[in-house]
Structure 1
Amino acid sequence: MLNKRTTEVHTLGQHISMFAHKARRVTDQICGLAYEETFMILELMPYRACYPIFKLVYSAGANASSNMGSNEANLVISKAIVNKGTIMKRLKPRA
């Protein structure tokens, strides 16, 4: 058994105005995939949540290559978490 050193790189996307269950629909399909394969899938999926997730995955890959010095071809998406964000209250002014 090879003793590989695993490093974890993460990115955080905040203030993305989107329902969490719509973004989870996309992130559930990319978990466990390779970095380059994830880009191909995100470009072909018809959901609006794909673009912000695409930017986050790209940012994670850039962080891994610049900070850790790892090759992007060896990266794997281990987990992707989507949580509920802030709720914007909309007022309906009355007379």
Structure 2
Amino acid sequence: MANLEKNQAKAVSKYVRMSSTKVRRVLKQIQGLSYKEGLMILEFMPYRACRPIWKTLYSAASNAQNNVGLNKENLIIKNAFANQGPTFKRSRSRAKGRNFKILKPTCHINIVVENNSENLIFF
């Protein structure tokens, strides 16, 4: 995703302390929607993953407005995906001198927004 078109912007949240599969479940719901619909859906969904996704989507729209000069009203979510990040490894002491491994997964959230050419009105 290094090569973005001139009507696209993206935002990345790294090292989010959540499993990538749980984040992907929410990202599938908002992919292809408009920016406003995506924010509204994320606000009312009951999943914990919605908050970091909402922040990343808001950041992508702000990047589109400030860096590319696009209007937030005309944005659609072109691409939204989550990659697995590094796993924090911890241990907990158990009976008889044994250890129990605790894995704390992280993920990287990527959201690409683009200008929706269907909503543009030409005079």
Verify same fold: TM over 0.5.
Answer: yes
For 2:23, the equivalent position in structure 1 comes to 23
Q: As a proportion of its length, which structure holds more helix?
A: 1
Give identity over the alignment, percent. 44
Tell me which amino acid in the other structure corresponds to 1:30.
I
Alpha-carbon separation, structure 1, partners of 2:31 and 2:65: 20
> Displacement of 1:91 after TM fit?
2.5
Q: Summarize deviations over 1:56-81 as a string: whole Å, max 9, x none.
A: 00000000001111100000001101
Structure 2 unaligned runs (5+)?
Answer: 99-123
Q: As a proportion of its length, which structure holds more strand?
A: 2
**Count of residue pairs the alignment pairs up:** 91
> Displacement of 1:8 after TM fit?
1.6
Structure showing greater radius of gyration is 2
For 2:56, the equivalent position in structure 1 comes to 56
* TM-score (structure 2 length as normaliser): 0.69
> Displacement of 1:6 after TM fit?
5.6
Q: Summarize deviations over 1:22-73 as a string: whole Å, max 9, x none.
A: 0000000000000011111000100000000000000000000011111000
Alpha-carbon separation, structure 2, partners of 1:70 and 1:7: 7
Counting only pairs closer than 5 Å after superposition, residues 1-95 of structure 1 correspond to structure 2 as: 7-92=7-92, 94=97
Aligned Cα RMSD in Å? 1.6
